């Protein structure tokens, strides 16, 4: 399978988030039922999403894991239906869920653990010949923030991501099929996230496509605020759009977002400023 292409050449793909969970930090289970998730996915495609990321496990700090059976129940009907509309990635750390989702029509595995949570994930991706997003990860949601300790967060993240690339490649996954995600908010404090964004070119220098997922995360809620007055997740879309533009300017392959309309608008503005887009002279 090949990686999806952006609707608009020369700018990052927009990955729309479809959380089929009751406890997402961002949307609080608004799309938990299959019917709601399907309607939301259709809306995101109509708004300009290039692909959809369907996940059935919340990875907010402190979240408890659902059973494998429950995760499958949540994601499979949604993946099957939405894969007829757009490319679908399955957001899972379980190889069995990834395998079932691929059978249901998904074309990309998005593993926030980078293959560390389930020893069967790396061989599965290799055997199925699918691309994978390997995120920087140091532990499950219940413990990850205890592990936000770095000598140099960018150097440490790059080293640990390189180890994940080596594991996938050793199993037979083509290097070009391994997409990297620096894991903003996962075992990271606010200053770690900002440092990773400031030095994004160093992560890009690893030579792999990058996904950046800053959308609605806590560190954006703190911009210009104190911890007592931080913005709620649904009030972080403007800050998300700003980081999206920054990531686009640094050549990332994909941005993972909840607010597709705001993201597309921001990218359209960047194109207009650069003399690209409808109505511009060719």
Question: Does 166 score more than 90 pLDDT?
Answer: yes
Residue range 174-180: mean pLDDT, rounded = 98
Annotated catalytic residue within 217, 218, 231, 236: 217
- Among 94, 199, 218, 256, which one carries the catalytic annotation? 256
Q: Is 217 an annotated catalytic residue?
A: yes
Alpha carbon 197 to its chain centroid, in Å, reads 15
Beta bridge partners of 181: 135
Interatomic CA distance for residues 79 and 7, integer angstroms: 21
pTM value? 0.93
What's the token pair of residue 140? 């499950």
Q: What is the DSSP letter of 149?
A: -
pLDDT digits (tens, 9 = 90+) for 25-80: 455 555 568 888 899 999 999 999 999 999 999 887 777 889 999 999 999 999 99
Q: What pLDDT sits at residue 90?
A: 98
Instruction: Give the DSSP letter of residue 108.
Output: E
Q: How far apart are CA 95 and CA 120, in angstroms?
A: 6
Active site residue 73: no
Instruction: Residue 6: name the closest of 97, 99, 86, 100 by CA.
Output: 86
């Amino acid at each position: 399978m090949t990686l999806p292409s952006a609707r608009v050449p020369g700018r990052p793909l927009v990955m729309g988030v479809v959380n089929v969970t009751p406890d997402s930090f961002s949307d609080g289970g608004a799309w938990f039922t299959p019917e709601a998730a399907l309607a939301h996915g259709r809306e995101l495609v109509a708004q300009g999403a290039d692909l959809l990321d369907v996940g059935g496990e919340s990875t907010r700090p402190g979240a408890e894991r659902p059973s494998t059976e429950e995760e499958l129940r949540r994601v499979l009907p949604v993946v099957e239906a939405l894969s007829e509309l757009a490319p679908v990635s399955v957001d899972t750390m379980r190889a069995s869920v990834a395998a079932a989702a691929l059978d249901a029509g998904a074309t990309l595995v998005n593993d926030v653990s980078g293959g560390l949570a389930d020893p069967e994930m790396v061989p599965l991706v290799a055997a199925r010949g699918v691309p994978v997003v390997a995120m920087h990860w140091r532990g499950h949601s219940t413990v990850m923030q205890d592990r936000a300790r770095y000598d140099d967060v960018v150097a440490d993240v790059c080293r640990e991501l390189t180890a994940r690339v080596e594991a996938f490649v050793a199993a037979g996954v083509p290097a070009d099929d391994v997409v990297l995600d620096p894991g903003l908010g996962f075992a990271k404090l606010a200053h770690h996230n900002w440092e990773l964004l400031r030095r994004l070119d160093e992560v890009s220098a690893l030579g792999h496509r990058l996904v950046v997922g800053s959308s609605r995360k806590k560190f954006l809620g703190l911009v210009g605020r104190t911890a007592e007055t931080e913005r709620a997740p649904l009030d972080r879309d403007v800050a998300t759009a700003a980081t999206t533009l920054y990531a686009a300017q640094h050549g990332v392959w994909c941005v993972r977002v909840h607010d597709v309309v705001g993201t597309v608008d921001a990218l359209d503005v960047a194109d207009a400023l650069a003399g690209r887009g409808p109505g511009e002279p060719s």
